[in-house]
Structure 1
């Protein structure tokens, strides 16, 4: 059965000799890997191949840990792990809402590198997906809520609801996650535009940039990195708290940038079990995945144990291809530029199809920890194609559901030692200078959580060193977390001829210290920074804080920035970020200064003004959700996670639905796209969207039994009349007719076909 399916789905009726060779190669590979046996942890470990000079060690396995998807370490070096046991029990997700998820504590009590005790901290959870230790408690994401649970002797204490809508909208594959505690003392997320912070007994919640899909990390300067399932690595050029002051601004230069545009993968075994494996170009002649399709869990390595050439490298997991990729990053001015470490091979890869690395985590021993779900099904039911269902059935990939492994990657021959942090203030300040970034981060967090003002003179003594260092940067942000930071502290870290990335991280703390007493001093500094090309953009992002102190204080700096750098998109967006609801006035001022319609700052301002108008129109119709309740719900859970709540698309994920001729045009074409999917590039309103600007593929839902034809009709009627769209409604019969027309189709459409 599988052989005929392969020939029907992957080959043409006639082919030249080269195509015949490719077909023979594919068939041989199919025969060789026709089965996917469940391996013991020891056996699976033997199937792992690492870069020369490294080795993988088993840290934990079932029954000690089951389906691990997220983890963190406490100061004692113990692992706190989220187990998503209920994820996809079969191809239709039967029982996915079972309350069988857990948060467990794993500990290595004899120092041999492997966990030997398991303590259940929380159980009866539904699909827990993220966790973060804060002070005496644990943040836990259990959709749709975010909880703070007090820790009482490794037992769960009082629960406080931090956010009732942490994962509002989206399915399991497209819901916020991460809970990454960054250098600026805020907690950030992937697939989300929210950030959180604990202040005393209060939880603060703010809007920030929308970032990534699954997993998030930071570099030595607190810049965030993330990705989506088809892109190797995305990230920010500036500190995460900057650049989100103007809610009218959809795309802000310097954030959500494509850091490593090369998305090629090099599996060491055939990987036919990918969702779009039937599409030409997804797999090569040996049935190996060509490009990322499930990139996740990015980690910027800062552990200090791998050697200088690995510091600051970005490691990315790809569970569909059973591998982990290594990328090399470097700074150029304030840009971050990346490339794959090698061509034709990976840092780590496995010949075990069930090896599913979904998250990477730094360890207090300098190692990289790999969370392996170890199961056959990783694609959620919402987008599961008939092709992949067949693959799952052919090789019996559904069972078992009670496995899971955690590995650590270390240099061969080394004996990593976990550094245990005490709560002694002086020791924690000293730990800010550790060569291991995890230790530095944890020491900073513990000092902030303790709110011990006795740390302040020790931190200032650290800043007195004339050499600009990472320890200085952490000390500065500890002072910020203790509400003891001053302008003089920032000035002591900033060096005019110093490390640009470090300088920008120090300057990013200015909004937290700005007041009437230091206002003139800060303004003088920013006026000087405007003249430094490398500091101009970050200066622009600091202007909203200045305007809060004095509404007109930023006016002259505004003018200096756009007159000095009118064709620099980073400076342009920094200026616009400070012009919330004043965009039209700013455009008039710029036009009066220079009427050139091609100025980058003018073109980007005009785009924001147009977006404001569209959003105003979109918010006028509140009755549409009542008219199409099922359609509105499906849009929120399936579509908006990539196309945005306003239908204007999301950078790196999907093009706009609002003002889209594809949406409002011929309804049969739109029905076909939603049923069977669309492979890019896609043209909307004269603009061509293609990878890597967006995810190149939109999955169809024709085979998803969760949605009836009436549901799909409501969904399409909703999007064809939402926002600024106006088009004829879609009926259930319309959907049925298109199903009949393309009966048996599995392949996604291209725009050329649909034309």
Structure 2
């Protein structure tokens, strides 16, 4: 009876928060009925869980592994034996306050199908005693393991860990579990890329190399058949790069480079099969519809470019996105228009896969060696991390007992109905691997390339060069090209084979590989080629992105090419940003040269250059010295943990995530209003330094941390004092009493503020 009264009260409270929605639908009683229907959240075994799923007609979901063979899977990869190496994040959110998250109970396990019936039946623990591990990648004779804050390489000796090498002791700097680097995608260009990160890695001989690249995404990263990268954040469907991953990141003062971190699919709507009241902001107007179902993405993750071929041609190059808060998987159809990549949702008002089981939590999607689409399901109630957990969601978790159990986890595959794929074993034979470079399954092509490189099969170099001549298969050519690059055998003549083709996508592959082979000796010949190619509108941005890689010995010729690009494409945002990218530290010089040629300040290049120069000046004025960190040590730590991952270490914001804190009137203004935002959150547009930021340029919502017991009022005061004194900000400190006064003023408040309310 008490539970019914709770439902009635919560239903009326929801109605009030939704500003009169009941008048239109009479939904107070409807909401109660829906809530009663989903009042409990029973735990289903894996087979029952599949019966609660609906997938597109003609396909079916098959079970590959379930507890106790696997628990809390969050990432995986396949080896050449068809075995799954799975990351188990066992310690994630044992309860609503994260009790015991620091216990070393995470594992990397190997799952194997020994009897070839399509279901894993053998579990081998490769390594245990890890704290919240999050990503892995097989390389040569070992495995990269991301265990915050470290990235380590561990040799594999008969499925047991051997020598350990520390690759990066700051793989994750700050951030909580939801906002730390992950992915470790071994891409076509032989570099390993990450989501929620601006770093990439590569093993060269016995050494690991780390480079800065573009900041990308939040959880999960994927590549298409051309090696372009795709990613997203929790409120955006698909983001990605138009241009090669290795280009365009040479100017650290340039925050955004057109063609990178672009919105590929702007439609973020979702269509769950059940009421999804258990989302962090379910109390806010517009978060749920009249059926109490999620309206827009709130936990989008792991975008996957499907390249497996098994599902059929209609699915090739589709991008699938997991949405664990909505208990669904979305399908998007992607198309190229020149070098611009755009897409749309595959269906109107429905999804590729949905479940009526609230505990179905798909968090990672993968292509498999058998061509299947693999789904990792954490299968649990709590999916939101404690840092941003609202009182509303805590109540949802309590009311349906979503905390337990904690020992579940499933791996599924999606296949054509009636098919029964078996583990695909790749023979470690040079000739066999060479043939796989032409396989329709992109996963197999990737793995063949990696194995040839890892085993240093240089005897294949002549055959790889022969594959470059097969103009009827661009995918084969691309893999042959990058396999040569990975072997250290790529030559300028190999690249020229692609540059001289009529297919512009082949030419792009050649351009992307040029930095590996261009030098002073061949530079003039290459520059002559580029001078001709820049006249092609499609190829011009790629040529401009290559400017930083051109030999310094040919300064005069390079500058001539640069001015040709400027004069022809000063109003092209892609070329303009690429040219600025090539002028790190020489932006003023470029500005003067531009004025000498054309003083028109409305040119795209002029406007973008002005913005970068202003950012540089702001950085010069910035003050992030050690004294500030010594004054507010706890504030500095909380900034890195809670704020930096969205607003940037420099306080200048991160595209697609959050606006600047540096020079923000909100940060430096009324400290009580700032405290209210941090405690309760902020939703909707916000203006910083005269510019309005709103979705989809940034996430439309910033969650509050006022209900997080981990942070005291003194802690919150410190972090606010820290950001009010950081960079170019010069505002008065915040004290514990200020936070207490704001809590008292808004006692009982649940929902986020809007800027309008605060004014």
Q: Per-residue displacement from partner, 1:575-622 (whole Å, max 9, x unpaired)?
A: 011101010000000011001010000111111111111112224643
Q: Which moved more, 1:351-360 or 1:510-519?
A: 510-519
How far 1:505 moved relative to its partner?
2.5
Q: Distance in 2 between matches of 1:278 and 1:105?
A: 41
Distance in 2 (CA, whole Å) between partners of 1:700 and 1:79 is 38
1:719 correspondence with 2:710: no
Out of 218, 221, 224, which is 2:229 matched to? 224
Aligned counterparts, 1:388-407, within 5 A: 388-407=393-412
Paired residues of 2:11 and 2:28 also in contact (CA < 8 A) = no
Q: 1: distance between equivalents of 2:217 and 2:424?
A: 31
Contact 1:473 1:493 in 2 (8 A): no
Aligned to 1:185: 190
Q: 1:748 aligns with which of 749, 752, 756?
A: 752
Contact 1:80–1:104, Cα closer than 8 Å, also in 2: yes
Q: Distance in 2 between matches of 1:420 and 1:254?
A: 38
Q: Is the contact made by 2:7 and 2:32 (CA closer than 8 Å) also made in structure 1?
A: no
User: Which one of the candidate residues 21, 27, 35 is aligned to 2:26?
Assistant: 21
Q: 1:564 to 1:14 in 2, by over 3 A?
A: closer
Asked if structure 1 preserves the Cα contact closer than 8 Å seen for 2:682 and 2:703, the reply is yes
Query: 1:71–1:82: 8 Å Cα contact kept in structure 2?
Result: yes
Conserved in 2, the CA contact under 8 Å of 1:630 and 1:711? yes
Asked whether the 8 Å contact 2:544–2:579 carries over to 1, the reply is yes
Cα offset, 1:3, TM superposition: 3.0
DSSP 3-state at the match of 1:550: helix
Determine the structure 2 residue equivalent to 1:134.
139
Deviations along 1:241-297, whole A, 9 cap, x unmatched? 000011111100000000000000000000000000000000000010000000001
Match of residue 591 from structure 2 = 587
Q: Is the 8 A contact 1:654 1:694 kept in 2?
A: yes
**Whole-angstrom CA distance in 1 between matches of 2:28 and 2:506:** 53
- Residues 1:298 and 2:283 are matched in the alignment: no
- Please list the CA deviations of residues 54-88 of structure 1 after superposition, one character each: whole Å capped at 9, or x if unmatched: 10000000000000000000011100000000000
Mapping of residues 125-164 of structure 1, within 5 Å: 125-164=130-169
2:284: which partner in 1? 279
- Mapping for residues 98-117 of structure 1, pairs under 5 Å: 98-117=103-122
Q: Cα RMSD (Å) of the superposition?
A: 1.3
Report the equivalent of 1:680: 684
Contact conserved, 1:2 with 1:394, CA < 8 A, in 2? Answer: no
User: Given the alignment of the two structures, is residue 83 of structure 1 paired with residue 88 of structure 2, yes or no?
Assistant: yes
1:639-664 superposed Cα distances (whole Å, 9 cap, x missing partner): 00000000000000000000111111
| Distance apart, 1:468 and its partner CA | 4.6
Question: How far did 1:502 drift?
Answer: 3.9
SS in 2 for 1:615: helix
Partners of 1:10 and 1:280 within 8 A in 2: no
Q: Deviations over 1:179-207 (max 9, x none)?
A: 00000000000000000000111000000
- 2: distance between equivalents of 1:40 and 1:46? 10
> Using a 3 Å threshold, how does the CA distance of structure 1 residues 187 and 345 change in structure 2: closer, same or farther?
same
**Secondary structure of the residue that 1:397 maps to in structure 2?**
coil
Task: Work out the CA distance in 1 between the residues paired with 2:500 and 2:473.
Answer: 8
By how many angstroms is 1:14 displaced?
8.7
The number of aligned residues is 754
Output the CA distance in 2 between the equivalents of 1:275 and 1:752: 22
1:298 and 1:613 mapped to 2: Cα distance?
A: 37
Identify the residue that residue 624 of structure 1 maps to in structure 2: 628
Q: 2:594·2:606 contact (CA, 8 Å) conserved in 1?
A: yes
Q: Secondary structure at the match of 1:713?
A: helix
Task: Give the corresponding residue for 2:538.
Answer: 534
2:651 to 642, 647, 650: 647
Matching residue of 1:471: 476
Q: How far did 1:516 drift?
A: 2.2
* Offset, 1:343: 0.8
What CA deviation, in whole Å up to 9, does each residue of 1:424-480 have, x standing for no partner? 111111100000000000000111111221010110111122435200100000000
Contact 2:174–2:641 under 8 Å retained in 1? yes
- Calculate the TM-score normalised by the size of structure 2: 0.98
Q: CA offset at residue 13 of structure 1?
A: 10
Distance across 1 between alignment mates of 2:87 and 2:121: 17
Q: Aligned pair 1:381/2:391, yes or no? A: no
CA-CA distance at 1:18 after TM superposition:
3.6
**Alignment partner for residue 97 of structure 1, among 80, 93, 102?**
102
Runs of 4+ that moved beyond 6 A: none
Matches within 5 A, 1:89-488: 89-488=94-493
Q: Contact 1:78/1:106 (CA < 8 Å) preserved in 2?
A: yes
| 2:72–2:379 Cα contact (<8 Å) kept | yes
Q: Which moved more, 1:183-192 or 1:539-548?
A: 539-548
With the length of structure 1 as denominator, give the TM-score of the two structures. 0.98
Q: Unpaired segments of 5 or more residues in structure 1?
A: none
Partner of residue 737, structure 1 = 741
Tell me how far 1:17 sits from its aligned partner.
Answer: 6.2
**C-alpha distance in structure 2 between counterparts of 1:343 and 1:130, whole Å:** 34
Q: CA deviation at 1:2?
A: 3.7
**After superposition, what is the alpha-carbon deviation per residue over 1:102-160, rounded to whole angstroms, capped at 9, x for unaligned?**
00000112222110110000001100100000011000001110110101011111111
Q: Report if aligned partners of 2:25, 2:290 keep a CA contact under 8 Å in 1.
A: no
For residues 132 and 549 of structure 1, the distance between their equivalents in structure 2, rounded to whole angstroms, comes to 38
Check whether the contact 1:67–1:372 (CA below 8 A) recurs between aligned residues. yes
Flag structure 2 segments of 5+ consecutive residues without an equivalent: 1-5
Q: Is the 8 A contact 2:624 2:726 kept in 1?
A: no
Deviates more, 1:462-471 or 1:547-556: 547-556
